[in-house]
Amino acid sequence: MYKLACVILATLLAAPVSAQTLERIIETGELNLGYRTDAAPLSFAEANGKPAGYTPQVCVSVAQHIANQFKLENLNVTFVPVDTTDRFDKVASGEIDLLCGASTITLERRELVDFSVPTYVDGTAVMVAKGYEGGLESFADKKVGVRAGTSTFDALAGSFADAGIGADIIAFDSHEAGLAAIEASQISAYFADQSILVHMYFNSEYQNTLSLSDEILTIEKQGLALARGDADFRLAVDAALSRMYFDGTMENIFKTTMPGIAPGAAIRAMYLTSPTN
């Protein structure tokens, strides 16, 4: 077992985009991982600033597999905080090698970056005031909230447009701001990934006043984003994930980072349909 050294930096000098990632990692012993700081329980920063959550743990295991495969005695893993406005640009520019956040795989995003095999399945859910009833049509001509710069924003706008519902979609800079807005009755609902809303709900002071829907509006596969056209690095990442699915590592990471939450049908299906070695 080869050693990993993990450090956290707010900024890095971007690596040359033309350099093949795997070749550079082997040569320098450096692997740069981007992570979302505000997408708990999938990816977030702890009070001490350290990365935490499901996807950063997945990436640490991927890094360990790469270190073992290529016999890198001291692989230095650097975690770089990113947000919804710059995460994919930092992958495309080479500033980070792998994005370990809560990134839905879409064709539009694949015009800029590539993705690993799926690592998580999530879906759009909604938080409303306790006692509120009604489907999507009940939000016609009302204000609803969503996190800016996310696939949830696009999915929600598309759902309202397809249904001919004229809701006023308000984009918030953080999930916490959206939660505060619905508590203050400034919006009628707040939409986000179900995993994020579940975590926020059970760790908030609003459980007596807010309600979380059981149903999801979309099913979204998430993966680790990496540079386009880098087949060797993608193969190394996918090979590591395949081994992690096979030996139960992925299930164990889910259990340790989301205690008390049972994997849903979509997550269980992902375990069964994961690539084989």
Considering the chain, what is the average pLDDT of its residues?
88
Question: E-strand spans in 105-247?
Answer: 114-115, 120-122, 124-129, 143-147, 168-172, 189-193, 210-212, 220-222, 225-226
What is the pLDDT confidence band of residue 43, given thresholds at 50, 70 and 90?
A: very high
Domains in the chain and their CATH numbers?
3-121+221-273 (3.40.190.10), 124-212 (3.40.190.10)
Is pLDDT above 70 for 10?
Answer: no
Residues 161, 192, 238: CA angle, nearest 5 degrees: 105
Per-residue model confidence (pLDDT) at position 120: 92
Per-residue model confidence (pLDDT) at position 3: 61
- 101 vs 66 pLDDT, higher one: 66
Quick check: helix, strand or coil at residue 156?
helix
What is the pLDDT confidence band of residue 196, given thresholds at 50, 70 and 90?
A: confident
Question: E-strand spans in 133-182?
Answer: 143-147, 168-172
Per-residue model confidence (pLDDT) at position 42: 92
- The H or E element containing residue 153 is helix 151-162
User: Quick count: other Cβ atoms within 10 Å of Cβ 257?
Assistant: 19
Per-residue model confidence (pLDDT) at position 100: 95
- Which of 130, 118, 160, 155 lies closest to 267, judged by CA? 118
**Which residues on neighbouring strands pair with residue 122, listed in sequence order?**
220
- Render pLDDT for 208-248 as a digit per residue (tens, 0 to 9): 899 988 777 888 899 999 999 999 999 999 999 999 999 99
